[in-house]
Amino acid sequence: MRSFRFLAPFVFGVVSVAPATAQNPFAPRVYPPSPLATPLSMDSAPAYVRRSAVTNPVIERIWREGMERSQAARFAQTLFDSIGPRLTGSPGMRSGQDWLLQTYERMGISARKERYGTWNSWRRGPSQLIMTAPRARAIEATMLSWSPGTNGQWREGDVVLMPDVKSPEEFAAWLPSARGKFVLTSPPMLSCRSPQQWQEFGQPGAEAAMRKQQDSVRAAWTVRMLAATNDYSAKLDSAGALGVLTTNWSQYPGINKIFGSPRQKVPTLDVGCEDYGALFRLASNMQGPRVRLMADAEFLGEQPVFNVVAGLDGTSKAKEYVILSAHFDSWEGAAGATDNGTGSVIMLEALRILKTVLPTPTRTIIAGHWSGEEQGLNGSRAWSEDHPEVVEGLQALFNQDNGTGRIVGTGPGALPKARPFLEKWLGEMPSDITKWIRLGQAGPPATGGSDNASFACYGAPAFGLNALGWDYSFTTWHTNRDTYDKVVVDDLKNNATLVAMLAYLASEDPERVPRDRMDPLPANPQTGQPMTWPGCVKGMRSSADYRR
């Protein structure tokens, strides 16, 4: 880098008229904190935020165990770095579940796998994509989940666009020319700069203009894809195409979302925004892009799938239950760290804390480490169907599934009489935890977002714990950057301690949480009519039921 000493007199004031800090290219940028990252003000905080020290000795012990002797970071590092992602039915999921069982066993907590069906098992191996023309370059690309591999062979061919056809017949006429080619099936991004940069540095209106142009590129591309076929992967495969390249950019340089489907018939890779854009422009301008691919992947057939369930048996109310809920499966472009490794670690650590502090709870406390959430809450739906007695005896379920941040919100769902219980339980806890938490009012019942819906649909008290986002949707959710380093360890400790306290208070509460439903339910914003209670959806028990 050229020295900035030369520039210093100009930058720092000799001839500058702007404030020096604004001119320093290395000055750290200062951002305001997100509103939810600010604690409730003690002057106006709701009554459940304590103004005095905690008096309950069990709560104090949970605090010390969770905050001073936390194992959460150690669990997370092993799970995310050493075992990695946990795609439903995959060998990675099997290793993760084995590790969970061993970890519980070492802590003296009983845990078991419960089979709920079968799923299409797929093993990811390494993959490599190289551009060989018009110049040589390693391409940033990730094989999609359930993609076929290349059977140990390198495949090399030209890169072409999906054709601009008007009908399936035109597409069928084009198909033979796909033989020996790699086909681009996503619209390109016109810019891989984040929208924030366009807003911050663009000329007035530049960000909006870029967005508009991008929208029209995307819309035209959708028309092109729909006109051609609804099943391009199988058709390209039978036509002898070598592979499909897609891109699913997550609005930050270097971050893409990685999904995939058992319906992919031809090797399919997600390519980073910049490299995909380059391939797309080279192909559009007839500049002869070629790539070479080696992808190792293996289909292992329809294999049994399991939820892992661990717990502490209750004593006088053993047939009543508190469930700590988080799905253990993940997408697998990275390590599945914040979706939902952190939720899983919170429940594991909370049970560890409880085993130390409250080994014989009044009600039975269960940690439910569900599988198949990413394909439609399948593990938890199947489990709630298979255990009607637990749904019936459920005192409270706490689910966490939106990233690594500290818990800043919860609420009673559609059970208004549950709210005073949440209020009372929070009121027992130290304000260090509760000063972050906005306790909501009763509202619409949970639907399909995460596993609490699999229990809430029965009218059982199943609550979601909402974490501070840390820009979850764009940074880590289903991305190739969902890795251990994104974990916010202090927030993880806070959350495990909070969940252990909630479980303890729900378990020992002399009263049952009432199930009176909100009536009428809030209005559906589309129709203006009151919503109807959501029915319970059956979990898919086999990948044959999976249509995506």
Which residue ranges make up the site for Zn ion (CB under 5 A)?
339-340, 401
Backbone phi, psi, residue 112, to 5°:
-150, 160
**Min dist. Cβ of residue 103 to Zn ion (A):** 21
**Min dist. Cβ of residue 80 to Zn ion (A):** 14
**Min dist. Cβ of residue 466 to Zn ion (A):** 13
Residue recorded with tokens 């999976």 = 546
Q: Give CA–CA dist 354/361, Å, rounded.
A: 9
**Min dist. Cβ of residue 330 to Zn ion (A):** 7
**Min dist. Cβ of residue 170 to Zn ion (A):** 41
Compare residues 88 and 507 and give the one whose CB is closer to Zn ion: 88
Q: Report the DSSP beta bridge partners of residue 523.
A: 530
**Min dist. Cβ of residue 223 to Zn ion (A):** 32
Compare residues 180 and 449 and give the one whose CB is closer to Zn ion: 449
User: Do residues 415 and 519 lie in contact, with contact meaning Cβ atoms separated by under 8 Å?
Assistant: no
Give me 253's structure tokens.
């340089």
Compare residues 23 and 473 and give the one whose CB is closer to Zn ion: 473
Compare residues 233 and 384 and give the one whose CB is closer to Zn ion: 384
Compare residues 247 and 375 and give the one whose CB is closer to Zn ion: 375
Burial 403-413 (b: 16+ CB within 10 A, else e): bbbbbbbbbbb
Q: Give CA–CA dist 376/548, Å, rounded.
A: 10
Compare residues 362 and 452 and give the one whose CB is closer to Zn ion: 452
The 8-class DSSP code of residue 239 comes to T
Compare residues 237 and 339 and give the one whose CB is closer to Zn ion: 339
- CA dihedral (469, 470, 476, 482) in degrees, to 10, reads -120
Q: Give CA–CA dist 242/155, Å, rounded.
A: 7
**Min dist. Cβ of residue 464 to Zn ion (A):** 12
**Min dist. Cβ of residue 339 to Zn ion (A):** 4
User: Do residues 445 and 521 lie in contact, with contact meaning Cβ atoms separated by under 8 Å?
Assistant: yes
- DSSP code string of 456-500: HTTT--EEEEEEP-TTHHHHTTTBTT--GGG--HHHHHHHHHHHH
Residue type (1 letter), 416? P
User: Which ranges of 141-272 would DSSP assign to H, the alpha helix?
Assistant: 168-174, 195-201, 206-228, 232-238
User: Do residues 75 and 82 lie in contact, with contact meaning Cβ atoms separated by under 8 Å?
Assistant: no
Compare residues 207 and 339 and give the one whose CB is closer to Zn ion: 339
- The three-state DSSP-derived secondary structure of 33-64 is CCHHHCCCCCCCCCCCCCCCCCCCHHHHHHHH
Compare residues 340 and 480 and give the one whose CB is closer to Zn ion: 340
Give me 407's structure tokens.
């818990």
Give me 38's structure tokens.
């600010």
**Min dist. Cβ of residue 402 to Zn ion (A):** 7
Among 540, 146, 143, 147, CA closest to 375:
540
Q: Give CA–CA dist 95/348, Å, rounded.
A: 16
Compare residues 381 and 419 and give the one whose CB is closer to Zn ion: 381
- 489's enclosing H/E stretch is helix 489-508
**Min dist. Cβ of residue 327 to Zn ion (A):** 6
Residue recorded with tokens 């459940």 = 48
**Min dist. Cβ of residue 129 to Zn ion (A):** 28
Among 150, 138, 284, CA closest to 217:
284
Compare residues 476 and 497 and give the one whose CB is closer to Zn ion: 476
Instruction: Tally Cβ neighbours within 10 Å of residue 103.
Output: 18
